[in-house]
Amino acid sequence: MSAEDLERYENEMELALYREYRDVVSIFKYVVETDRRLYLCNAVDVKVRSESGDAYFEVTMADAWVWDIYRPARFAKNVKVLTFKDVNVEELQDSDVKLPTA
């Protein structure tokens, strides 16, 4: 497989992932962004934890969809993320999920 073939494959996978996102975003209430991934979910809880002086975030999500090109199954019943980096949680409104049609 050449570098060009690999790039074409990754571009096709990214486009397919975007199309899937566009199809499912309207069934979720929240967008959760961590340093590694973007999630759509219907329930989210963020807790700040501290052990030995270092603070980290414990993010628990239910009924989630994961933006990850390499995951064969992007839907998850429960997700738990531990991170030392920022976590962004946004509640979606109907007007937030109107995407352009392809």
* pLDDT, tens digit, 9 for 90 and up, residues 45-70: 999 998 888 899 999 999 999 999 88
- Provide the 3-class DSSP secondary structure of residue 1: coil
Number of domains, the chain: 1
What is the predicted pLDDT for the residue at 6? 87
Of the candidates 86, 60, 65, the residue with the CA atom closest to the CA atom of residue 75: 65
| Distance from C-alpha of 102 to C-alpha of 100, rounded to nearest angstrom | 6
Q: Is residue 102 part of a domain?
A: no
- Note down the domain range covering 85: 3-93
**Residue 20 pLDDT greater than 70, yes or no:** yes
- Confidence class for position 90, pLDDT limits 50, 70, 90: very high
| DSSP secondary structure of 26-95 | GG-SEEEE-SS-EEEEEEEEEEEEEETTEEEEEEEEEEEEEE-TT-S--EEEEEEEEESS--EEEE--GG
Total-model pTM: 0.81
